[in-house]
Chains A and B, each alone.
Chain A
């Protein structure tokens, strides 16, 4: 792992809609090969931050550099080049219902490359194999379970071997076993394929299982209240909210 190399640099980012400001003056970096987790309470703007990072929303102030290029100001071919370096898994999977899983994973290849069909099919099958779904490649998204849809969405996000993979709540709504398998998959992607992952999640178990580094967003102060290794934060950080978030299982044991 190349710890020194910065893949994403966020500088003085202020985001909001109209006159409503959600977060002010955020500064952080994501380094190559790490699993970077964005934490925060419901409504704190985690998904909004993710959408800024993948260029769906334009920042009110500040900038986001992906591989050194400014997402919001890039246009045309340059923007396309940046987009090709990122893969995104949306909260609900967002698979196209009219295509089979293979068709869904093949789509980015069809759009961006001039590979022969046979090659695209082979790559798509291999990506589905990576997430353990190769045998379901002929199925339509509506015919498989929610957890499988999320895994298929990860396969689609990886189709072009992006440098950075963004995952929006990958384990939300899954049972603990499926969720743990997904966490293992995420770890494996980072370790064996050297991908950088930016993950939004609430799941306490997932955070400790996957995160190399976390940032925690706070709705009240509209800023980052904690940054670092989640285990270290849990043991040393004295911000009451951070402690409560990361130690929920200990402090709020209802049976006690």
Chain B
């Protein structure tokens, strides 16, 4: 089939002849594939042969011409009139005329959007304004959802517990494999790195103290929170964001269901609930990893765990779990907030997912710093 064979079917040649009028003749197919290679040279040649005078375009040997071919003809016509000359076509068929028409019409149309030439002072003002608007939106959301949370605590029956459990399963139970892997490796790495240094002093047994304190108080909650942000915070933002794009959030509102109560509260409760549990699990797995490494250094498991139980007390564990609960609250809140702030279109969902993870990690780090100061002053 000639039409499908691009190399053979899409050949377009042209010849020029100077004089008055200057002449350009096309031979072959004028379609989107064949006019590209000759586009610039045809325009240049036309200007050369016709100058400011009349240009005659001969189409009698053109076998096929579609919209792209007409675009080239129109460009010739346009540049001829720009130079003050004129263009005459020979051998124009009805089809070519039909394809040329929208080009001539489109030239006269002005964009309905006024040109965007905004001075930098106005752009700055708009930028500052949008930051202010953002802060306002966050505060409004915090108020709205604090109210919804209080309502949930006062009337536990009105919470959608089945949704909460479903989210808790996805954010908690289904995260166990990845949490196991990360926590185990974390314990192994911590133990291994510190054991090499401690061995020089014959103090390998104190690796147990080091790993236990750092895992329970700091690294366990932190690693778990970052995992939660990447898995569940992103999922919350994407889910609510997609619902927003599909107008499902609007549907909830018009049905008299508050989206915050309906969508956000179950996710926040689930986040606060699973974060300490995951941390507890991560702590155990991390210690197990460390204990296995220390066995390789000649310290039996019993001795390791005996040392651990002497090194940490319940306060270390509970302070870590409390931090984890706060991290869980932050991660799920910011995920839901970003989801509800989603604009329109597929790209908006991607943006809100990214910003959910980034904001969550920033908030986790800030909160962790605040906890460090707080615990220091409380003597915990």
Chain A contacts to B: CB under 8 angstroms: 67-69, 78, 81-82, 85, 97-98, 109, 112-116, 118-119, 122-123, 125-130, 134-139, 141-142, 158, 160-161, 163, 192-194
Interface residues in B318-351 by Cβ distance below 8 A to A read 344-348
Q: Interface residues of B: mostly helix, strand, loop or mixed?
A: helix
B residues near A (Cβ < 8 Å) are 1, 3-4, 6, 31-33, 35-37, 39-40, 66-68, 70-72, 74-75, 95, 98-99, 102-103, 105-106, 109-113, 344-348
Nearest residue (CB) in A for B344 is A142
Residues of B within 8 A of A141 (CB): 345
- A163–B64 Cα gap in the complex (Å)? 13
Contact in complex: B68, A135 (CB < 8 Å): no
A68 and B40 contacting across the interface, CB-CB below 8 Å: no
> What residues of B have a CB within 8 angstroms of the CB of A128 in the complex?
106
Number of A-B contacts (CB under 8 A): 108
CB neighbours (8 Å) of B33 from chain A are 112-113
Contact B6 A126 (CB under 8 A): no
Tell me how far the C-beta of A178 lies from the nearest C-beta in chain B, rounded to whole angstroms: 18
With beta carbons under 8 angstroms apart, the residue of A68, A97, A126, A160 that contacts B345 is A97
Q: How far is the CA of A116 from the CA of B98 in the complex (A)?
A: 23
Whether the pair B32, A161 counts as a contact (CB closer than 8 A) is yes
**Are the C-beta atoms of A126 and B37 separated by less than 8 Å?**
no
The distance in angstroms between the C-alpha atoms of A138 and B113, with both chains bound, is: 7
Q: Which residues of B contact A123 (CB under 8 A)?
A: 32, 67-68, 71
- Residues from chain A with a CB closer than 8 A to the CB of B37 are 114
Q: In the complex, are the beta carbons of B106 and A114 less than 8 A apart?
A: no
> What residues of chain A lie closer than 8 Å to B74, measured between beta carbons?
122, 126
Determine whether the beta carbon of A129 is less than 8 Å from that of B35: no
Given contacts A69-B4, A81-B6, A161-B66, contact A135 B36 (CB under 8 A): no
A82 and B6 CA atoms in complex are apart in Å by: 11
Q: Binding site of A, secondary structure by majority: helix, strand, loop or mixed? A: helix
CB distance B36 to A138 under 8 Å? no
Q: For the A-B complex with A81-B6, A123-B67 known, give 9 more contacts whose Cβ atoms are closer than 8 Å.
A: A67-B1, A81-B4, A85-B4, A98-B347, A113-B68, A115-B35, A127-B67, A134-B105, A163-B3
For residue A81, give the distance in angstroms from its CB to the closest CB of chain B: 5
B113 touches A109 (CB 8 A): no
Bound-complex Cα distance A138 to B347 (A): 18
Known: A97-B344, A115-B36. A130 touches B102 (CB 8 A): yes
Shortest distance from the beta carbon of A103 to any chain B beta carbon, whole Å: 13
Do A126 and B106 contact each other (CB < 8 Å), given the known contacts A139-B112, A193-B99?
yes
Q: Which residues of A are found within 8 Å of B95, using beta-carbon distances?
A: 193-194
Contacts of B347 in A (CB 8 A): 97-98
- Establish whether residues B106 and A125, one from each chain, have CB atoms under 8 Å apart when the complex forms: yes
Given known A98-B345, A126-B103, A127-B102, contact A115–B68 (CB-CB < 8 A): yes
* With A98-B345, A192-B98 as contacts: A126 and B32 at CB distance below 8 Å: no
Instruction: Enumerate chain A residues within 8 angstroms of B66, measured Cβ to Cβ.
Output: 161
Which residues of chain A come closer than 8 Å to B4, judged between CB atoms?
67, 69, 78, 81-82, 85
The verdict on A136 contacting B345 (CB below 8 Å), with A130-B102, A161-B31 known, is: no
Give the top 10 A-B pairs by smallest Cβ distance, nearest first. Answer: A97-B345, A161-B66, A129-B106, A126-B102, A134-B109, A114-B36, A129-B102, A192-B98, A115-B36, A135-B112
